[in-house]
Structure 1
Amino acid sequence: MKMSTEKHDIEQIEQMSSVGDRLPASRRRAPSRIATSGPAGIFSFASTTFILSMFNVNARSVHTPNVVVGMALFTGGLLQFMAGMWAFPKGDVFGATAFSSYGCFWMSYATILIPASGIQAAYSDQQEFNNAVGIYLITWMMVTILFVLPVLRRNMSFVILLSILALAFALLAAGSFTGMANITKAGGIVGIIVAFIAYYIGVSEMLSAEARPVMRLPLGVMYVNDI
C-alpha cells in the first residue's frame, strides 16, 4: 500500500512538471529579459566615491566638498537606488539590498551638505556637528562590515571592495571625531582605492554580460553553489 502511494505521488509530480510544456504558447511565461543592474550600480558608486575622495585629499586645493552634492543625489543616489530596485526582480537579494542601501546613503549624505536642509545650521557647536557626522559614518562602516558576510564564499573582489570601504568609513569617522585633517586625507586615499576596485568590478560585469566580450576580467569566484 505504501509503495502504491509513493508511485502515485511520483506520477503526480511528473505530471505537474510537464504542465508548462503542454500549455499553449500564449500562456507560457517568457524568460526574463531584465538585464543585470550590477554595472550601473557599481559605476555610480565608484564615480561618486572617487569625486568625494579626491575632495577629501584636497586635490587641486579643493577643501569644500559641496560640488559632490549633485553627483551624490542623482548618480550615487538615484541611479544606484534604481539599480537596487531592478535587482529585486532578478532575485539578487545582496545586490538589491546593497545598491538600494548605498543609494540612500549618498542621498542622505548630500542632504547634509545642502544648506537649505538646515541640518548643519542646526548645530551651534562645530565639534558637536563633527561628532554627529562621525556617528553617521561609523554606522555605515558597521553596515558595510555586515555586507561582507554574504559574499565571503562568492566573490573575492567584493570581499576586498567592502573590506577596504569599511576602512575608509572608519578613517573618515575618526577624522570627523578628532578634527585631524591627515586622518581625513587617509580616508580619502583609501576611498580612491575603493573607487578603482569598484570600476574594475563594473567593467568585469559588463564584459561578462556581452555575448562576445573582447576580454574577461576575473572576479575571484571562490564558491559555486551545488545544483
Structure 2
Amino acid sequence: MPSSTLAPPATAATPAATVATVATVAERRANPGPLGLAAFALTTFVLSLFNSGLISNAALSAVVLPLALFYGGLAQFVAGVLEFRRGNTFGTTAFVSYGAFWMSFAGYVKFVVPTLPADQAHVATGWFLVAWFIFTAYMSIAALRLDLAHRALFIVLALTFLFLALGDLAETTALTHTGGFLGLLCAGIAWYISFAVVAQETWGRKVLPLG
C-alpha cells in the first residue's frame, strides 16, 4: 500500500540535483508490508497447528513463544513503524498492533498464566482474545476498502479470534479446534499476499492477483 512522497522545492540551500536525489531515495524505499505479513503468517501458522489439535500442546511454549516474541512480535512491529514513515495509517495500525499482540501473548503465556488459578486461566485467556476480536472486527470494516485478499484476511482473522475466545470461555475443545483451522486458513492468506507483493516488486509486474 504505497504512499506518495512529495519532494521539497528547490532553493539555494537545496539545489535541484539534491531534490532529485531525495525523491529517488524516497521512491526506492522498501515496502515493509510483505515482511509484516510473513511474520504474522508464520507465527499464526505454528500456533494454529496446536490450536487445531494437529500437534500436541506439550511443545507449545518451546516452539511458539520465541516466534511470537521475535518474528510475529518484533519483526511485525518494525514493519508497522516503517509503514508509518510511508504514511500508511492502516498498515501502521495493523502491524504495530498485531506485533504487540504477539509480544504480549508471549509474556502472558510465559509469566501470567502460571500464576493464575487453574480454574480461572481459561476465563482470562478468553477475554484476552475477545478484546482482540473487537479490534480485528473494526479493522475488518476498514479493510473493506482494500482488495479482496486483504478483506478475506481480516474477516477470517476476526473469526479466528472469535472461535478461540469462545472455546476458552466455554471450555469447548471443538470451538478451539475450529479457531485453529481458521487460523491455518488465515496464515495461508497472509502468506499469499506477502508472496504476491514480493513477487510483484521483484519481477516488476503483477504475478499473482489480489482481487
User: TM-score, with normalisation over the residues of structure 1?
Assistant: 0.81
- Counterpart position of 2:140: 148
Look up the match of 2:95. 99
| 2:25 matches 1:34 | no
Q: Which residue of 138, 154, 163 corresponds with 1:162?
A: 154
1:47-92 CA-to-partner distances (Å, cap 9, x unmatched) read 0000000011222434452120000000000000000001111111
2:10 aligns with 20
Q: Which residue of 1 aligns with 2:126?
A: 134
**Matched residue count:** 199
Superposition pairs of residues 74-89 of structure 1, within 5 angstroms: 74-89=70-85
CA shift, 1:27, in A, is 4.3
Contact 1:56-1:63 within 8 A present in 2 as well? no
Question: In the aligned structure 2, how far is the partner of 1:63 from the partner of 1:171?
Answer: 22
Question: How far, CA to CA, are the matches of 1:60 and 1:104 in structure 2?
Answer: 25
Larger Rg: 1
From 24, 30, 45, the equivalent of 1:50 is 45
Residues 71, 28 of structure 1: CA spacing in aligned structure 2 closer, same or farther, 3 A cutoff?
A: same
Q: SS where residue 156 of structure 2 aligns?
A: helix
How much does 1:120 deviate? 1.6
Q: Deviations over 1:155-186 (max 9, x none)?
A: 11111110011001011001111111111111
Residues 175 and 181 in structure 1, CA contact (< 8 A), matched pair in contact too: yes
In the TM superposition, what is the alpha-carbon distance from 1:21 to its structure 2 partner? 8.5
Corresponding residue of 1:204: 196
Identify unmatched segments of 5+ residues in structure 2.
Answer: 1-7
Unaligned runs of at least 5 residues, structure 1: 1-17, 221-227
In structure 2, C-alpha distance between the alignment counterparts of 1:218 and 1:127, rounded to whole Å = 47
Q: Is the 8 A contact 2:9 2:19 kept in 1?
A: no
| Mean CA deviation greater in 60-69 or 170-179 | 60-69
Per the alignment, residue 4 of structure 2 pairs with: none
TM-score (norm 2): 0.87
Cα deviation, residue 19, structure 1: 4.9
